[in-house]
Structure 1
Amino acid sequence: MRAVVFERYGERAEVREVAEPGPPAGGVVVRVEATGLCRSDWHGWMGHDPDIVLPHVPGHELAGVVEAVGAGVTNWRVGDRVTAPFVCACGSCADCAAGDHQVCARQTQPGFTHWGSFAEYVALEHADVNLVAVPEELSYTTAAGLGCRFATAFRAVVAQGRVAAGEWVSVYGCGGVGLSAVMIAVAAGARVVAVDTAPGALDLARKFGAAHGVDARDGADTAQAVREATGGGAHLSLDALGSPATAAASVAGLRRRGRHVQVGLLPAAAGTAALPMDRVIGWELEILGSHGMAAHAYPPMMEMVRGGVLRPDLLVTSTIPLDAAPAALAAMGTAAGSGVTVILPGADARS
């Protein structure tokens, strides 16, 4: 099969022929019809993830068709249209028994713990626990973004953030996760302040319902801008980018008893985030993490997508062939993000 492979961190990947994977026991092989290009893939390419073993194939946001089924799989057949969360749970540990598959102690992650979906085929473990059916009316291109960015944002806003109608929500970083969070918060009846350095990203945030956009360029005090726009601070704030500056500003822009959800990765190379803990104590702020969403939690989100309440298809701003993926991956470190790019690995890939 053809796949995007890199052999050294931070050096240009290339598309080459590699061996096709076989289905693991309890797992499946999926023919990848579409796979999202995510900033987490860039972090992996840069060497920020300790699970990666070189040479490596990145990619963790995928949708496609079951190509082969391993021994022990009972719920899936060849030909099924599927997607999966980027955290593939074991289904049998204490965390999974509690329903917390997204923090499974024995989790695997395509594109990190093993070769991923920037390829024509990808292997996924524990299929009966992790696969999610893709309805016929949902395109592969749209479904590809659900397993990481959209589902991650949905859980961060709805489950962890406990968003409520009428609340103010601030979103730091309007890439794929941030724009998803904007759309989801607006659908929940919240008012959103979007923060980014890219005018194009802020324009998209407004398109998806953000009431205000804050330009974070030139050393702007974004926390103060959020407090002014919301009349005292956000009830809920998400750092969807992942940097010491955005994490600290997200907390500082909250009102009393507000909730901060950290979604964007903070790799060690970025430094430690200095959060205003005196304010956290004095104002009884909540500091929460959010890490994907379990497959069993997808139905409410999928129903909102099928009903047109949520429109993840509008987040996709470009599709590219597999051959263009290495350059697009490298560009994520310097180019301002604007919407979601989806890779179509097959020559006959259909959206």
Structure 2
Amino acid sequence: MIHKITSLTTFQNMEFSEKFLEWVESRSSTYKNGISVMGSNIRFFLNKEEPLFLIFDEFHLKDIDNAPSRYAKWKVFCVGISNLKGHFQIIYLKTMTSGHEQIGSLAIKVGVKNATDLIKANGVLYSRLAGAVADKCASNGDAIDFLKSQGLPVIYDLRHLVDKLNSLGHVDFILGHLLQHSFSKSTYMDKIKSIKTVVERTVPQQLQARYENELSAIQYFLRNIFKTFPERIESVNSELFESMGSSIGGTLYDAASEAFQKYKELENVEEAIIFMATLTTVVIQKKHKNLVDVYNLLEDQGPNDRGEKRHHSNAGLDGPSRRGSNEISWESPGFIQ
């Protein structure tokens, strides 16, 4: 299946190492269900002593040109792990067409649980996991309840929260103001209490319970952080993940539209699911590499938290490192032991 992807126009100027191609193919048993687990991506955070959170969302693709109409519509459900600055790695995905299967609440819960178990297997990373950020829509409800049962509060993704409140005729400034500021261990409770006062005075009565629930989630999220981490932390940023979703969707659309025209065997829905899951894995790893390149360059502008320069020889990523203008080689994709 991988040769179908590497021959597409989207990838025509890239060379992939045999090691990476073997890594992609090694997941073929799960691709038939549209699933890919990229556990070694979490190595990106191993040497960073900072708070982490899960982040998950469903990205909707435009209807794929040239695909049979009954399954031209596709979705990608992604679970990532992020730090508070918004640097993240996707570690689980499910790619599916609504013409074959819906990505419903059960599938979302399974994906979130699998990602959580993956992190839990590494005690160091799990000890840094403060909670999660997600759209609190009905389809995410079971996953949110599962996380809460694990002692992991879920904060409403700010972009989705603003959109939801807009749909209810309310413009939010309060929670946006709160989440975009730094927090101090000694004063964060005072800040939350002062925000509650603002809510009582300014928010319509019918929305106050929604705000109270969200403030409670933020409070427990910060409490988990300050159990382990220093006196002050930066704001919670999930914006990059949402932007990444749009970028992934655009690249998948272009590549898949060409593939459905080029490969008639993709008219079989099972073959199409395997292809799209494989394609999504390749696209995500490529985009992760681009993000890490930028991150490393920014880190080089000054010392990191330990006062040292980052070492680029092993970024801890299941992704490519550029050797030449058009060549991409891929680091060892092994899972954390």
Q: Is the shorter-chain TM-score for this pair beyond 0.5, marking a shared fold? A: no
Q: Point out the structure with the larger helix share.
A: 2
Q: Which protein is bigger by CA-based radius of gyration?
A: 2
How does the TM-score come out when normalised to structure 1?
A: 0.30
Q: Point out the structure with the larger strand share.
A: 1
How does the TM-score come out when normalised to structure 2?
A: 0.31
The structure with higher relative contact order (CA 8 Å, sep 6+) is: 2
